[in-house]
A and B are shown apart, each in its own frame.
Chain A
Amino acid sequence: MTTKSELRQSLVALANAIADLNSPFASPATRARWSGHALHAASLGRSGAWRNLPDTGADYDGTKAALDEARTTLEDSASSAARVQAVLARLEHILD
């Protein structure tokens, strides 16, 4: 069972992984895409919505696995960008 703390840590790890690969010297289009994901993840990471979330729940497990997978397979490609976006949208839905 994944706790919300673990889930949140995975999210922040994803945000940091994106920040690591998000070069400011990339093309504006590439930079904008990954900045969007980094800011989205970081915005969710600092959100006060976590306080109201139950500490555990089976629903989180899939999201955590997806977050971890997204973090470990991050590449500067359209396919992984879409995957990250999907994972973040899923997490936002859980927090909503």
Chain B
Amino acid sequence: MHLPIALKTPATVLAALALASCGVNTLRLEYADLVGQKGEAVATSTRSFLDVVRTTREGANVELVAADAACGRSPAQLRDPPLFGRRAPAVGWLCRPAPNKKFAIDLDPLQDDLEPTLTAVQALADYSDALTDIVNSKPADPSKAVNDALATAEAAQSAFVAVFKLGKGPLPAASDPRVKAITDFIGFLGELQVEADKVKALRKFLAEQPEEAAPTRLIAELRSELDEWEASRASDQVIMETISGDLLNGVINRARPGKPQERREAMTAYYSRHSARLASARIYPALTGVLDAFEKADGNMRRVMREHPNLNDKERAKVAEINRTRLIRALDNLTALVTAFRGV
């Protein structure tokens, strides 16, 4: 049997490769991909939530100024209690001049105030994107080089013949079983190498991250800022519902109740505000769940990225299964090579 020199002891080579490129690398790439996905979910959900925060503030401000022109005369502050019993829309029933700007109603849009949070979200999104890019990078297919060589010039023919000791004569066709066996073998080696290279790139990327950009720090910062924005959102929802309820109370309780259409609109507006307050209270808990999932995924990825990771039972079973499948594939490759070159 005239196997290429590199394949004289293929069983040793393949067994060594199967062991060296153990399934932990596959696990590492899966976890990094998961972090990328969770990070994208965090970025998308957080931006949506901040949009809700911004529009809720604007909605509350609109309600305030629409309900009482005095609320728009800066600096103004809310009355405690509001002056009921006057016929709406009496100016000054809800707001009065504020002695200073400390607790005055702020009618400015929130966009500028949201920027630091949006920057933190972007940093987290960049981190996740980088991980995803590394995991999904497409290196040159090692087996493609073999097929390309078959279709090109004499120089390639010489090199091919020299390397694989196929003897003189025309190049074998791409359909030749020897070529297919070699191509599959190179492809298999290439996959293992690509996997190892990606893990190496991930480790390099993680090591290069500055301390202040570490996800744990970014997440802590984000949680703190989002807590603040949740308080802002919930407060604005209370303001909108309360004003709506006050206007409804005025419509139905005054000596001469409003017209049917007026009562209908006031009732509908109140129910709408009430439902919106209850519904929007569910957004933030869901968002913190997404943040929790990202933090957990990132922690798992960093744990398995170490040289000798401490795997849990489930991970060990998974790695064992990957290795078993890989070894079977290595042996299949070996059988195909031996069969193809037998008698050459």
Contacts and interface: CB of A to CB of B under 8 A. Distances in A.
B26 interface: no
Contact of A31 (B57, B231, B241, B246): B246
A31 B235 CA distance: 18
Given A19-B241, A42-B239, A43-B105, A5 B84 contact: no
Contacts of B106: 46-48
Contact of A36 (B80, B232, B244, B281): B80
A43 B245 CA distance: 17
Nearest to A4: B228
Contacts of B228: 5, 8, 50
Per DSSP, chain B at the interface is helix
Nearest to B247: A24
Contacts of B103: 43-44, 47, 49, 92, 95-96
Nearest to A36: B81
B84 A29 contact: yes
Given A8-B231, A43-B77, 7 more contacts: A26-B249, A28-B249, A31-B245, A32-B81, A44-B235, A45-B235, A47-B103
A22 interface: yes
Interface of B: 57, 60, 77-85, 94, 102-103, 105-106, 113, 224, 227-228, 230-232, 234-236, 238-239, 241-246, 248-250, 252-253, 270, 277, 281
A15 B235 contact: yes
Contacts, number: 124
A16 interface: yes
Given A9-B231, A41-B238, A42-B238, A24 B82 contact: no
A39 B239 contact: yes
Contacts of B81: 32-33, 35-37
Interface centre among B94, B239, B277 (most CB of A within 10 A): B239
Interface residues of A, number: 41
Given A38-B238, A42-B238, A25 B249 contact: yes
A15 B9 CA distance: 77
Per DSSP, chain A at the interface is helix
A85 B270 CA distance: 25
B239 A43 contact: yes
Given A5-B227, A49-B103, A15 B82 contact: no
Nearest to B105: A43
B75 to A, nearest CB: 13
A27 interface: yes
A46 B231 contact: yes
A62 to B, nearest CB: 20
Rank and list the top 7 A-B pairs by shortest CB-CB distance, nearest first: A36-B81, A45-B235, A24-B245, A36-B80, A46-B235, A42-B238, A42-B235
A12 B250 CA distance: 26
